[in-house]
Structure 1
């Protein structure tokens, strides 16, 4: 029997890789001779590099840069055997600050890493922009890549010092922006639906989740509206046209507008890298699931795509989730059985406790299915 296992992360506590391993243990306990294929999933927020490297061997390279609050940090990017460079902006633009002050954040560090990435002679660059801690509309990144910003007196404005400096910008000079990006095939992973500015901007949609006060959220949103007007008038660039352009606080929109980057979901990329459709077609049983919280406001996650493909190929499939908010979508795709792992208290669970709970529930689900298999 061929079993496909495809688990996304569980609430940032259990990684996709380890969730797959716990499910694999459950399957082997019930079907010792099963041929198990594991598919690591990602959603554009975490684990992108490690998940890609499970499918394509490659090398990680360390880079010194600045985090979202311009503090020194070291992060990694990867180059796969197929010469795809993988960058995880959420790890680069993270922060260890206990309280978020979005007006003091910058995306400058991502630009620093990209300058190192551009030394690699690779045509394709894959960038995830979820879970970043910066809210400057991507201007810091542009400055690191060679863009210049001037105030009303013609003096340089250092936007690397945070979003609060955006209001002083009067002219955007892109003449020295690194030209090497124009020749790259850039794919941006984003599973978060938001605009560059407005009521559906990232900062307005995430203010409660990230405990950003209303005044700061409005200040950031107004600054991004203002800078988008400058881009429109000075460079004929429309930053608010893409429904997912606000991901990474506008980083996605800049990549799309300046370098014609494709905006893809994590599911799109998983399908490209793993030939998911073919794997499900070949499977006798599919076990999949996720532990993502509903308030993360992600788009249709890869688990829904797996349910859709299982229905297409008429496969017996089990969905195991940390929450039940996906169940209606699973029902629409005729999922064989659905199970909710936790009722409460999952935030306090260790990775081992969560893994054991996942393994136990999967085992019980398989015992129920044994008679039909």
Structure 2
């Protein structure tokens, strides 16, 4: 039997790499002669760097950068095995985990550190970039990132605005002439799993602001600020409607800032699957195991398990989904997954489930393989 094991992370309990190793161990416990290949999966959020380095080789580069709250943090990015491609995971630089809950206020956050890491990679000679969006604490539309790369944003009096979201409404003039010249040689690919525009009821502020600490009044303030900022940038670029591009609202509008640099928006799950060459291996596999922390209707909108299951179906490979939590309305999911299983084995709190997740995952996978055996 030939297995491909390609889980996403189980947030709060297991990384995708850890989950893959646990499922592999469970399979081999029951089928010692099975061929099992593990490929950690991410969709642009946490774990993107680890997933791509695991599949394509390379190294992590530790880098001091400005965190989401304006304080220095110990961040990192990856250099893939080709020595030409940088993998930047914005969650590792300006992610929600780097903003203590009692300090979360998206009006005061910045993506400056993302720009600093891009600059660091450019100056190391890297010209290809995969930038993962997800898990952000920010809502500045990429203002801080663009300023760190040399762009200049000024208010009505001609003074530079601070690189935080509260400045968005003050932007009156945009000067991109100071952008680092090496950016003209760079290929920027955005790994993203959401299709939200920058502004409006489905935009960055309305959809993701509350989870970053925004009050209803702040959501409205942020949305107005982003609209003002976007208009100024679009007029400077002569690209009206750029803010409506699907994914522009990702990571608090960082997607918009990257699009302003000419970046290309792509499915994070597809990018990582291509880098790992998973489809070629699926053509020779018997079963695919995927997994994630929660499975609901969002899974059908391009998330890693859905994308991989679609590839498997193309090659006649059956897919088993292991999830920390399954929706109570799974009918649409049956069109993609051949079998779906919640790893929980009884009533428990979320905290208990997270603590027990590795053991629960192991026994859920082992029981499925025992049934086949």
Q: State the TM-score, normalizing by the size of structure 2.
A: 0.92
| 1:33 alignment partner, SS class | coil
TM-aligned CA deviation for residue 337 of structure 1: 2.0
Aligned twin of 1:197 = 199
Partner residue of 1:140 out of 144, 149, 167: 144
Mapping for residues 64-143 of structure 1, pairs under 5 Å = 64-82=64-82, 83-94=84-95, 95-99=98-102, 100-143=104-147
The answer on 1:151 being equivalent to 2:152 is no
1:273-295 Cα offsets, whole Å, 9 max, x none, are: 12222111111222222114659
- Superposed displacement of residue 318, structure 1: 1.8
Following superposition, the deviation at residue 232 of structure 1 comes to 2.5
Q: Any conservation in 1 of the 2:7–2:19 contact (CA below 8 Å)?
A: yes
Task: Flag the 1:87–1:328 CA change in 2: closer, same or farther, 3 A.
Answer: same
Post-superposition shift, 1:179? 2.2
Q: What SS class does the counterpart of residue 249 from structure 1 fall into? A: helix
Are the equivalent residues in 2 in contact too, given 1:307–1:330 (CA < 8 A)? Answer: no
CA distance in 1, matches of 2:200, 2:300: 18
> Would you say the 8 A contact 1:193–1:297 is kept in 2?
no
**Which residue of structure 2 aligns with residue 361 of structure 1?**
364
SS at match of 2:243: coil
Q: Structure 1 stretch 269-278 or stretch 84-93: which is displaced more?
A: 269-278
Q: Is the 8 A contact 1:45 1:129 kept in 2?
A: yes
Is the 1:59–1:80 Cα contact (8 Å) retained in structure 2? yes
d(CA) in 2 for partners of 1:297, 1:28: 28
After TM superposition, the structure 1 stretch with the greater mean CA deviation from structure 2, 212-221 or 291-300, is: 291-300
Paired position in structure 2 for 1:41: 41
Unaligned runs of 5+ in 2: none
- Residues 323-332 or 306-315, more deviating: 323-332
1:128 and 1:346 map into 2 onto residues whose CA distance is: 31
**Alignment deviations for residues 145-196 of structure 1 (CA, whole Å, 9 cap, x no partner):** 1111222222222x22x21122222111111111211211111111122111
Residue 62 in structure 1 maps to residue 62 in structure 2:
yes
C-alpha distance in structure 2 between counterparts of 1:148 and 1:60, whole Å:
31
Q: CA deviation at 1:328?
A: 3.3
- Helix, strand or coil for the counterpart of 1:29? helix
Instruction: Output the CA distance in 2 between the equivalents of 1:164 and 1:228.
Output: 14
Is 1:25 equivalent to 2:25 in the alignment? yes
Alignment partners' CA distance in 2, 1:352 and 1:104: 33
Q: Following TM superposition, by how much is the alpha carbon of 1:129 offset from its aligned partner in structure 2, in angstroms?
A: 1.6
CA RMSD of aligned residues (A): 2.1
User: 1:338-357, aligned counterparts within 5 Å?
Assistant: 338-342=340-344, 345=348, 347-349=350-352, 353-357=356-360
TM-score relative to the length of structure 1: 0.92
The structural deviation recorded for 1:30 is 1.2
Q: How many residues align?
A: 366
How far off is 1:329 after superposition? 4.1
Counterpart for residue 267 of structure 1:
269
Does structure 2 conserve the Cα–Cα contact (< 8 Å) formed by 1:192 and 1:297?
Answer: no
2:6 aligned counterpart, secondary structure: strand
Residue 150 and residue 252 in structure 1: after superposition, are their counterparts in 2 closer, same or farther (change >3 A)? same
Post-superposition Cα deviations, 1:106-140, rounded to whole Å, max 9, x if no partner, equal 11111111111111222311111211111111111
Distance 1:237 1:8, change over 3 A: same
